[in-house]
Structure 1
């Protein structure tokens, strides 16, 4: 993704749960409920992906102790993974994270989670097929179940729907023009 890509910026702004392993002076303002100027070891916070990633890979000078440890975000928790394994079309990804697959990609860059990778790939394939079907059949997309599915699409899926719908319209228009010339 490009430096100026708004979707990349919004993905980086999503929160990751982390635990501080060391005392960090002067960053107490990150913990809104604390009046202390410092963050104490053991403090759990939700930090933006870009900051959590930088702190997770950095180490204290002179030691091999990491500054923070990262946890899997709730949007990618085992509970969500199980729901996606059962039927990915029933999960409202937008309510979990507006840039769900972008968050998954960033998390997979930080964790070695083969099962999570498989779940995300399979979910995307099944949901993309459903999205393509609804994009080519816009009348069916308005009904209750399909409408609920479309409202739950995360941002990348919404872009996929728009492209598939626009291409379907363009093909129908092209075919109508060709048939009209015969």
Structure 2
């Protein structure tokens, strides 16, 4: 469970996702830059996840949902295929800064069994590489910065935790050997 003040959750909710309006909505054209106009049925826009989700689940009287929510490009079939082929080569940060968080949020809204498997396998394979890099002495000398460029925020936190844990263990062994 995340905290109300969790900055990663806030930034994930701010991630823009594509949606399509299913009905015309009066005076909502400002979302597309058309102030004072109606939002026409079939209009495709990118909105923050929190707003797109609210529009997708709200059902005004006598109508279906206001909009349908689509998967963001970070979770497109092209990206999923690349992750299936070799998860270690995909720059997740270029897809979305909070890639795994946006994936988890989308999986709350969509039933995509294949995506669950792909994201789980991706995290497992990349976590092993992250741990290896974090325990490497060159990473401790600051050379890990290049490696972390392609990591999303979850992976960066894992890298820092593994690196800090490894450093703390080394310091403990050094002090234990002196006594």
**TM-score with structure 2 setting the length:** 0.93
Gaps of 5+ in 2: none
Residues 92/141 of structure 1: CA separation in 2 closer, same or farther (3 Å cut): farther
Given that residues 141 and 147 in structure 1 are in contact (C-alpha distance below 8 angstroms), is that contact kept between their aligned partners in structure 2?
no
- 1:118-162 residue CA offsets vs partner (Å, 9 max, x unmatched): 100000111111111110114168899x76542100011111111
Say if 1:13 and 1:48, in contact at 8 Å, map to a contact too: yes
2:126 aligned counterpart, secondary structure: helix
Partner of 2:51: 51
Kindly provide the CA deviation profile for residues 23-70 of structure 1, in whole angstroms up to 9, marking residues without a partner as x: 0112111002x355210001000010100111101112123x111111
Q: Could you state the TM-score of these two structures normalised by the residue count of structure 1?
A: 0.92
Gaps of 5+ in 1: none
Q: Deviations over 1:90-123 (max 9, x none)?
A: 0111111000001001100111000011100000
Distance across 2 between alignment mates of 1:6 and 1:114: 28
Moved over 6 A (4+): 141-144
> Is 2:166 the counterpart of 1:163?
no
* Other structure's SS at 2:39 match: coil
Aligned residues: 178
Contact 2:26 2:39 in 1 (8 A): yes
